Amino acid sequence: MTTTHATGPTAPALVGPAAAPAPHLAGNFAPVTEELTAHELPVTGAVPPELTGWYLRNGPNPRDADSAHWFFGDGMVHGVRLEGGKAVSYRNRWVRTSTFTDGARLRDERGNADLTAGVANTHVVRHAGRTLALVESSFPYELDCRPGHELETVGPHDFAGRLTTAMTAHPKTCPTTGELHFFGYAAGAPPYLTYHRADAEGTLVVSRPVDVPRSTMMHDFHLTAGHVVFMDLPVVYNSRVSGMPFVWDPEYGARLGVLRRDDPYGAVRWFSIDPCYVFHSMNAYEDAQGRIVLYVSRYPTFELKSAPTLWRWTVDLVADKVVEEQIDDQSGEFPRVDDRLAGLDARFGHITRAESPESGPIPGALVRYDLHTGTSVRHDFGPGRTPGEAAFAPADDRPGGPGWLITYVYDAAKDTSDLVILDAEDISADPVATVHLPRRVPYGFHGNWIPDPVG
């Protein structure tokens, strides 16, 4: 393995006062200070030869010790290139937003918004040939992940000037139409919520405000074959709060808003649910009776130290009610499915058992659910080994068929990280491959397997 330092800025070491650093700046939450490129990575096991492309994962990597919250660090994408049964390279690169390069602020002294400002630290997705780094407060930033390139930042992407709001970090691609569905939420002044849709070629074709009474922290939403479902939950904007300007307010109530995809400017139907918070949805679909079935990782309140668990919400459009059911008492976050079944009845989904800055370590594992039978199976990574979110990489063109779960795993005893590849159909087995990385990868948020384009 050969390792080089990338050109460009490095972060100073986080040197703070004598007091212990904040939890989100300690241990493997602490940022790394340099951009590296490493080639010919050592592998235990065998990288599946079907995998040709990048595994990319985004997350916060602050450049100074003043970062007030885990959510606020500058975005850094960590990528491993797989090709020909080999782990060809590793790279980590900051996303060079205008905030990173020029110190731009989301709002100036007069309150005017600059949607190119932000940290682009939450997700990385591909649509219509573009690879986008996302954060929910701002425009996405395009990255260059073509073979032979260095994950350079291309620049902000505003859909040829048509996007005039922030963009969620959790857009949904319809596997049938290729459309990208997303939303933006805003603080300060209405419209607090706007729904957007881009066609398969990447042209923004729908933007419509959705009437909600206040600005809430709407991190994710749902897509089915026939509907879009918003989660208007009681985490409300409060400008007087320092740090994270959102507070838990159960008096606001909690509800689901259902919009028909074939009538994107039509009425939104609202359904009340018990107060809770949801960062991430697993999947949604319409059953044979026309009910909308939603799977979420649900928190009882807006506290990361509280334990999220898998729940199912069934929206009965005829009876005008929602049935709420807890599926499992195991805590877990970062729920995912095979993205080729997004909005359809995916039989299998998985979650990550890891740690949060507030809760401290819990056993690191991936849990795979059979959502049809209610059973689950898990992969335990062993003492001190903590996985992040796992993305599904397909083995062939059959949605819901064979494939692999790919994730970064931190080893506390060695203070290093690996890229681990599991057989999705036998996740309790030993890893198919473990790619040993030249440095630890700090805990982060979301990523994807980005295969090379065909043809």
Mean pLDDT, rounded, of the chain = 92
**151-180 mean pLDDT:** 97
What residues are paired with 132 via a beta bridge? 125, 142
% pLDDT > 90, the chain? 81
Within 10 angstroms of residue 411's Cβ, the number of other Cβ atoms is: 19
0.85 cut: is pTM over it? yes
**60-87 mean pLDDT:** 90
And the tokens for 132?
Answer: 């986008």
CA distance 156 to 169: 14
Q: pLDDT class for 15, splitting at 50, 70, 90?
A: very low
CA distance 275 to 295: 16
Q: Is 360 exposed, middle or buried (0-12, 13-18, 19+ CB in 10 A)?
A: exposed
Q: What is the pLDDT of residue 16?
A: 46
CA distance 197 to 202: 9
C-alpha distance from residue 183 to each of 226, 239, 249, 282, 296 (Å)? 17, 22, 22, 17, 18
Q: CB of 90 within 8 A of CB of 79?
A: yes
**237-254 mean pLDDT:** 88
Q: pLDDT class for 21, splitting at 50, 70, 90?
A: confident
Q: Looking at residue 328, what DSSP letter applies?
A: E
Q: Looking at residue 111, what DSSP letter applies?
A: -
Torsion 430-432-437-440 (CA) sign:
negative
**217-230 mean pLDDT:** 98
Q: CB of 28 within 8 A of CB of 412?
A: yes
